Amino acid sequence: MPTQYTPADVEGRLYERWTSAGLFEADAARDAEAPAYTIVIPPPNVTGSLHMGHALDHSIQDTLVRRRRMQGYEALWLPGMDHAGIATQNVVERELKKEGLTRHDLGREAFQERVWKWKAESGGRILGQMRRLGDSVDWSRERFTMDEGLSRAVLTIFKRLYDDDLIYRAERIINWCPRCLTALSDIEVEHSDREGELVSIRYGDGDASLVVATTRAETMLGDTAVAVHPDDERYTHLVGTQIELPLTGRRIPVVADEHVDPAFGTGAVKVTPAHDPNDFEIGRRHGLPTLVVLDEHATVIAEGRFSGLGRYEARAAVVEALREEGRIVKEVRPYEHSVGHCQRCQTVVEPRVSLQWFVKVGPLAKAAGDAVRDGRVQIQPPELSSRYFAWVDNMHDWCISRQLWWGHRIPVWYGPDGEERCFGPDEEIPEGWTQDGDVLDTWFSSALWPFSTLGWPDQTADLKRFYPTSVLVTGYDILFFWVARMMMFGLYAMDGVEPFKVIALHGMVRDQHGKKMSKSFGNVVDPLDWIDRYGADATRFTLLRGANPGGDVPVAEDWAQGSRNFVTKLWNATRFALMNGAHTTGPLPEAVSTTDAWVLSRLQTVIADVDRYIESFDFAKACETLYHFAWDEVCDWYLELSKVPLAEGGVAAETTRRVLGEVFDRLLRLLHPMTPFVTEELWTALTGQETVVRAPWPVADPARANAGAEGVVASLQRLVTEVRRFRSDQGLKSGQRVTAALELAGSPLAAYEEQIRSLLRLTVPEGAFTATASLPVEGVVVKLDTAGAIDVPAERARLTKDLAAARKEVAQTSGKLGNADFVAKAPEAVINKNKARLEAAEADIVRLEAQLAALPSG
């Protein structure tokens, strides 16, 4: 084996070997007795590239799938991509613009051909990046939301929903992008605080007047009412009357509506049903007309002097005209408020009434809520369930139409006599009928992902074996938009069978200060950069080590370096074991030394703990457990302790070699799901077997638990730690040898003199020996000759300070325990904790007094 681990020399070679051997492929017909385990990957956009959020999400999924595969499950991790309607169309339109063309110059069919060509040549680069990360997905089942099978699924479920009166067409307020010229889903709108201008305007005159405030003055041209609260006595005399709308000559009613907050502003609000979602609902309740004054480009179309102006130009012109008429009550002032932007082009979104297609979500959302409430689907961590219920219990009908050319076209046709009909995938379209021009929201097709990717609507072997899927791993930020929709469609299409058993939610990746990663903040980290510099294993381990259930994941450069160091430590430790003859041949000896028994006992605890943590999706604790066992216990202690029997040779050496092999065999298997590349390279070298990918997952053996051995080694560790601390305090280098006599008679550690001397760099005295320091620890007295090396005054000062702290602790804790009121009222656990502190402090006093007495005079 090379002396150094170089990820770039290993990762590509191993991944190619894994995929060529079909190790990640699942088979619906294989081993019917094996339980199925399925994860469908949240499909990344065809335009996307790997970012830290993907890297975290994929590392979690890969950990789950690799472990189940090792546990004997028929494990399927299904990959694929989303066609990303708006994003993809924007990419191709930008290319056309460079050629001086628009999509309209090409026409719809030619434009779609151009998009497919772009997809084949440039789309989907994230799939190659997933390989860099080590994703053990079944590439033979890769799907795309626009491929033939998934398109058939989309047409099929649309037809069923339409026939069940769960899809309808109506005019509603939707999010509209004036740049992309399409409706947007809520998740495609990003909100950020933006400084606007708040203007207060007087409607009407004298006693029959009201003052309203707005940041969108241009929309007043479409006002059809002013609303006040029914109980607001200031305006009771005006409710039911009409006032004049400035600049227009129109008179509009004053209506009473409970939506109005009388304590906010003046307590009166302008009502523009065509351009505000809340106003739209007020308008419906009061039968107000809907007056559209901005077209799809956000240009004023209302008759009059403002016609043809863009919304911002019109805003300034309207304010100036109001000022000229004396209608401005308060001068325009800055006002910071949340503004929605198109996720793709960052254009400010315009609320706009529009004729669109909607899914009637009421019964679907109820079923999705019931599936979690009755326990058929679990949300992990459970405390995030409230977010889910808050969404599904109050869901509005879902706008599914988009004014694009790239996507699944709505399968509704209009006849020559005005007929409307939805056709399924196998129905023939009559001549002379025209198809609806809109396409479906991308989330519509991705909502079918858990079952369409397995062959639905056909009853395939894959669908029978792998549905429902086992777990959905995704960020909490799309719990509402994607997860809820998959629940609705899965339960509807699959006759009430849920799409997944568990929803495992993780947080967002943030920088080390907890700040959201953003290009504008300059704190974005490219996972591919980390993979290039530190390796895929270190990148994955850094992310997983911060992945507490549902919590955000902070990352930093030095943490990635720490994970790289851990991988290096693992490499060097396994090399040491191999160089000293570690092997996995033959059964593990029953008779082993105390140190061998200790490490085997600790290994069983670690196996059980890692299992428990992964089952509860607490990857941070699983990684911490493995990190500290590997580094602190195996590398720092067991390898050092094993050097003595290895040097002795004979039966003791052979037993230790076998135990070394056992420990590294199990440890590498436990680490494999998190750090697949280095563990594959090391495990195959250790065992001589072909791959760890399908090696059995370790199972804890209670018979190997050994509390006695753990107690002895814990005592040895305390002894060594205390003497090391003494050496360090005296400025002795860790490798500097010191002559020492050990008084071990009657101590359980008597059999470990050689290990103690080896760990502490202590040489045996030759001839006359004069101790300059004496340390009584764990029933052993360590007498050191540090003449010329120890700073006696400094050591006396340190011990005196520690002794004073110990005596203070005794005084405080004994005082508490001697207080009858405290003992009577404090919980038993608190009393026991104070008793333990008192005992420890008293023991420290004895130890420190002995050490002070042992110091040489002067």
Q: How far is CA 211 from CA 227, 261, 276, 491, 674, in A?
A: 11, 14, 19, 50, 62
Q: What is the biggest distance separating any 2 CA atoms in the chain, rounded to whole angstroms?
A: 117
Q: Is the separation of the CB atoms in 526 and 509 below 8 Å?
A: no
Residue 519 is assigned to a ligand binding site: yes
Distance CA 448, CA 425 (A): 16
Q: Are 214 and 220 in contact (CB under 8 A)?
A: yes
Contact 778, 750 (CB under 8 A): no
Question: DSSP character for 140?
Answer: G
Token pair of 616, please?
């509860």
CA distance 699 to 274: 64
Cα separation, 286 vs 281, whole angstroms: 9
Three-state SS annotation for 365-396: HHHHHHHHHCCCCEEECHHHHHHHHHHHCCCC
Q: Where do runs of H (alpha helix) occur along 431-526?
A: 442-446, 449-452, 461-466, 484-493
Give CA separation, 5 vs 11, 18, 535, 679, 698, in Å. 11, 20, 10, 11, 25
Q: Starting from the edge strand earliest in sequence, which strands make up the sheet with 251-256, in order?
A: 242-244, 251-256, 225-228, 268-271
Q: How far apart are CA 757 and CA 739, in angstroms?
A: 10
Helix, strand or coil, per DSSP, at residue 219: helix
Buried b (16+ CB within 10 A) or exposed e, 821-846: eeeeebeeeeeeebeebbeebbebee
634 burial (CB, 10 Å; 0-12 / 13-18 / 19+) is buried
| Start-end of H helices in 695-752 | 707-729
Transcribe 508-554 into DSSP letters: -EEETTSPBP-TTTT----HHHHHHHH-HHHHHHHHHHT--TT--EE
The token duo for 426 is: 């196998």
- Phi then psi for 495, rounded to 5 degrees? 55, 45
- Nearest to residue 637, comparing CAs of 538, 746, 557, 718? 718
Retrieve residue 180's tokens.
């992309």
Whether a cis peptide bond, with omega within 30° of 0, leads into 457 is: yes
Give the Cα separation of 472 and 478 in Å (integer): 12
Which residues are registered as beta bridge partners of 183?
A: 176
Binding-site residues, in ranges, read 519
Binding-site residues for ATP, in ranges, read 519
